[in-house]
Amino acid sequence: MQGVHARAPGKINVFLKVGQVMDDGYHDVATAYQAVSLHEDVFAYEASDFSVTLSGSIDTIDVPTDGSNLAIKAARALARKTGYRGGVRLEIEKHVPVAGGMGGGSADAAATLLACDALWGTECSREELLAIAAKLGADVPFAFTGGTAVGTGRGDQLSPALATGHFQWVLAFAEFGMSTPKVYSELDRHRERHAQDIFPTPAQPTVDANVLQALRSGDPRLLAESLHNDLQAAALHLAPGLTNVLELGEENGALAGIVSGSGPTVAFLAADVDAALELQVALSAARVTVARATGPVHGARLIHD
Ligand SMILES: C[C@@](CO)(OP(=O)(O)O)[C@H](O)COP(=O)(O)OP(=O)(O)OC[C@H]1O[C@@H](n2ccc(N)nc2=O)[C@H](O)[C@@H]1O
Ligand SMILES: Nc1ncnc2c1ncn2[C@@H]1O[C@H](COP(=O)(O)OP(=O)(O)O)[C@@H](O)[C@H]1O
């Protein structure tokens, strides 16, 4: 049967500052996202109801296949918005670790919006699809746009950031996932428990100028110096073993390592392809599950197979 194939990328937060909790319960954030070459592939086929099946290179056992799957939510949201009366059968090939802090579910949602819009001929504009994306999750608009961008508010108000060249990443996957709300709550607890001088809450978080400069320059050494994640301490508190992974990467030639988003994936920045390959070998030898990726890459797009 003729279907539509869409692809969307995972992401690394190369910078993430977390501000206060807003009235909607979300934290006010300022982040610099980079889309990386670890993709989710979504195949959409006509059907009378909504269903999803999963395959891919990673363990998908914890991913729901009922209406709580973010891809099904995305398809239903598009159908509601456009008045489309049918359904869709979705097949997702996952390569982004589940609950890994790399926005895999968000990529599924973004790719599904694009695939269903094409399959159903609903012809939504980019802006309409982005508006639906923002309602599905804070990271979904970025999975849609990709590249390199600054996200503010919930992380869904995007402005493109200039970036040159390609950065080489080595990703250390964990054998467990971490819940995004739990990591945000842990940061709140840290901030309540400890003096504000250790974990200060920025009144209005912004992305540091040196990160934007590093992204513009394409120089991995500059970017390595400016990687920052306010959620990292909270993630390390909940998963102390990640500290060893960070140390191992830095001992084996990484320019720097950072927990991606709410973790537990650790992203190492390498100086070049050779350094990335060496690091990949060293981490694999230490029985860490690794993948290499480059960034930035495109956002969600249709693939004409
Ligand atoms: C931490 C980040 C960094 O990019 O990514 P992940 O690690 O999840 O990939 C994001 O802020 C996550 O984005 P996403 O995973 O789309 O979040 P959502 O599904 O919208 O929200 C899940 C929950 O996380 C918390 N949340 C999320 C975003 C935000 N700015 N403030 C929050 O407090 C809220 O408790 C919310 O109910
Ligand atoms: N299509 C999907 N892929 C992955 N997880 C999904 C999906 N739909 C719903 N989920 C749920 O969302 C949670 C977080 O998803 P994910 O996007 O993989 O991680 P993160 O938010 O850390 O980047 C998972 O634990 C899972 O229960």
Q: Are 77 and 120 in contact (CB under 8 A)?
A: no
Cβ density class 73-83: b for 16+ within 10 Å, e for less: bbbbbbbebbe
Residues 193 and 260 in one domain: yes
* Residue 142 within a domain: yes
**Prediction ipTM score:** 0.98
Task: Give the pLDDT confidence of 24-39 residue by residue, as tens digits.
Answer: 999 999 999 999 999 9
Q: Are 283 and 248 in contact (CB under 8 A)?
A: yes
Q: Report which ligand 1 atom has the smallest distance to the Cα of 11.
A: 9
Task: Please count the structural domains in the chain.
Answer: 2
Kindly report the pTM of this predicted structure. 0.97
Average pLDDT of the chain is: 96
Residues 137 and 230 in one domain: no
Q: Which residues are annotated as a binding site for ATP?
A: 97-107
| Number of Cβ atoms within 10 Å of the Cβ of 53 | 12
Residues 149 and 180 in one domain: no
- Does 155 sit in the ligand 1 pocket, CB within 6 Å? yes
Is 11 annotated in the active site? Answer: yes
Residues 202 and 266 in one domain: yes
Confidence bin at 200 (pLDDT 50/70/90): low
Ligand 1 pocket mutation, candidates 68, 150, 179, 180, criterion most atoms within 8 A of CB:
180
Q: Which helix (H) or strand (E) holds 18?
A: strand 4-21
Q: Which ligand is nearest to the CA of 30?
A: 1
Write out the two tokens for 303: 């693939």
Confidence bin at 195 (pLDDT 50/70/90): low
Residue range of the domain that includes 208: 167-295
Is 17 annotated in the active site? Answer: no
Q: Is the dihedral of CA 274, 276, 280, 282 positive or negative?
A: positive
Q: Is 231 left (phi over 0), alpha (psi -120 to 50) or beta?
A: alpha
Q: Report which ligand 2 atom has the smallest distance to the Cα of 178.
A: 22
DSSP conformational letter for 146: B
* Residue 110 within a domain: yes
Ligand 2 pocket mutation, candidates 13, 53, 65, 70, criterion most atoms within 8 A of CB:
70
Q: At 51, which CATH number?
A: 3.30.230.10
Q: Are 34 and 295 in contact (CB under 8 A)?
A: yes
